[in-house]
Structure 1
Amino acid sequence: MSVSEIAVAEGQATNMRGAELRRGLAASVPVLLGIIPYALVLGAQAAQKGLGLLEVPLMTGLNFAGGSEFAAIQLWSSPPHILLIAGITLLVNSRHFLMGATLAPFIKQLPKRRVFPALFLMCDESWAVGLADAQRRAAAGTRPAFSLPFYLGAALPFYLAWVAFTTCGAALGPVLGDVEKYGFAMAFPAVFLVLLRGMWKGFAAARPWLVSLAAAALTYLLVPGAWYVAVGALSGLVAAWFLADET
């Protein structure tokens, strides 16, 4: 192959990657807009618990898992109960084991130097968008089914927006006071309802979610403290384990 042909091929590959990045960004925008309100809520709640403008982006940037961050802030005290917060964070984030496992067949051919950064950027929203696209491409016979540029185009904006808007929430929190009175907190369950609707495969597949929901709700009503988080996470995992062979 001549130098000019190599240059043309490289240019085509670059254009293709750019197109996939833009396609991923376009796919993520509807959900991306939904995470902004509850990012502001989390930042404001963290500021009200005493976290500063440097500590909030460190927490959201290094952990990057909204559910566990909300749980940690609810449990935050002075001095903080580090082991309890770490344990709850592990339980809430344990769903990432299953999320990563569902992506494994699609990313196993990628080198680890690409896989690990991609998995660091994985959150519920980017995972759902990336997995749905990989499944569509696989069903259409497209190879490889998993488009890393598409995934990065969807995942990186989530990461940047999450860190940026939680920091904005921390800055505005003392001024706004109780931000939940503005209804921002509804964005959190609304986004997850949209994700669940996109992944709905019938009642049988949803039974672990329902078990987790019922267990968490009962624990919230009957047991003081944040034990509903642990109970909901564990009951969902156990239900998924026992019901796996039936779905």
Structure 2
Amino acid sequence: MLSFIPFSLVLGAQAIQKGMSTGQISLLTAVNFAGGSEFVAVNLWTSPPHLFLIALMTLLVNSRHILMSAALTPYLKDLPKRKVLPALFFMCDESWALAFTDAKSSPAQKFSYYFYLGTSFGLYLVWIGCTTIGALIGPIIGDVTHYGFDMAFVAVFLVLLKGMWKGCKMAIPWLVSLLVAIASYCFLPGAWYVLLGMLAGLAVAFMIAAYD
């Protein structure tokens, strides 16, 4: 939750600089709990906003959640849908990684629904609250990226990867995904690098599993 504070402040401040109101950015973070796509939406924001473009880019960036939720399927299959579907609304990269690691490391390989829900809801409240604070103080402190706060976004993902490290061979899909994403980012407009990087990594992981 502490790691959420820096880049949620950055998001709120950037939203104000793009012409959004505090209420708009608070509503955005509340209904679309996915930081990466929110940064994309804010960067694409104009007056009036290009809603179709923003929706398409949001879909591309959030497409990774399809794989994330699929990875949790074996642990969620015994839970009723009335619990699973609302809980998935609060899923983000950090809560997914914590819940997945907790389930994999537990003696019975059992998913802790309440651990996941508590983690997700705590992150959700911090994200909305600090984004709102960032929007309120943004006009006062100016461009907060000058202070290096945006580096927290990268640092969090590096920590998540470290916790999921299983050796060099299992990291090959990560490397392929990274290279494809970089190439796509350099040569294709928009957020296609997220989808293409994900698909490339998934294809390599499938081939490795099939070969083994």
TM-score for the superposition, normalised by structure 1 = 0.79
Any idea what the Cα deviations from partners look like across 1:147-180, whole Å, max 9, x if unmatched?
1111112111100000000111111111110000
Q: In the alignment, residue 167 of structure 1 is paired with which amino acid?
A: T
Partner of 1:212: 177
Partner of 1:79: 48
2:176 and 2:200 in contact (8 A); partners too: no
Measure, in 1, the Cα distance between the counterparts of 2:63 and 2:170: 19
Matches for 1:47-126 after TM superposition, within 5 Å:
47-126=16-95
User: Does residue 1:147 correspond to 2:112, yes or no?
Assistant: yes
Measure, in 2, the Cα distance between the counterparts of 1:220 and 1:100: 25
Measured at CA, do residues 57 and 141 of structure 1 come closer, stay the same or move farther in structure 2, by a change above 3 Å? Answer: same
Any idea what the Cα deviations from partners look like across 1:114-138, whole Å, max 9, x if unmatched?
111211111000000001111112x
User: Does residue 1:235 correspond to 2:197, yes or no?
Assistant: yes
Q: Which runs of 4+ in 1 moved over 6 A?
A: none
Structure 1 residue 242 displacement after superposition: 4.2
Measure, in 1, the Cα distance between the counterparts of 2:181 and 2:26: 29
Residue aligned with 1:46, SS: helix
Matches for 1:151-190 after TM superposition, within 5 Å:
151-190=116-155
Any idea what the Cα deviations from partners look like across 1:65-105, whole Å, max 9, x if unmatched?
00111111112222222222111111110111111111111
Residue aligned with 1:110, SS: coil
Q: In the alignment, residue 122 of structure 1 is paired with which amino acid?
A: M
Structure 1 window deviating more from structure 2 (38-47 vs 73-82): it is 73-82
Q: Which runs of 5+ in 1 are unaligned?
A: 1-31
Structure 1 window deviating more from structure 2 (125-134 vs 77-86): it is 77-86
2:176 and 2:204 in contact (8 A); partners too: no
Measure, in 1, the Cα distance between the counterparts of 2:144 and 2:81: 41
TM-score for the superposition, normalised by structure 2 = 0.92
How many residues get paired? 209
Structure 1 residue 221 displacement after superposition: 4.4
Structure 1 window deviating more from structure 2 (209-218 vs 101-110): it is 209-218
- Which has the greater radius of gyration? 1
1:209 and 1:236 in contact (8 A); partners too: no
Measure, in 2, the Cα distance between the counterparts of 1:58 and 1:133: 31
Structure 1 residue 49 displacement after superposition: 0.7
Q: In the alignment, residue 176 of structure 2 is paired with which amino acid?
A: V
Q: In the alignment, residue 174 of structure 1 is paired with which amino acid?
A: P
2:37 and 2:62 in contact (8 A); partners too: yes
Q: Which runs of 5+ in 2 are unaligned?
A: none
Any idea what the Cα deviations from partners look like across 1:33-58, whole Å, max 9, x if unmatched?
11110000001111111111111111
The structure richer in helix per residue is: 1
Name the % identity.
54
1:211 and 1:236 in contact (8 A); partners too: no
Measure, in 2, the Cα distance between the counterparts of 1:92 and 1:232: 6
Measured at CA, do residues 232 and 147 of structure 1 come closer, stay the same or move farther in structure 2, by a change above 3 Å? Answer: closer
1:46 and 1:73 in contact (8 A); partners too: yes
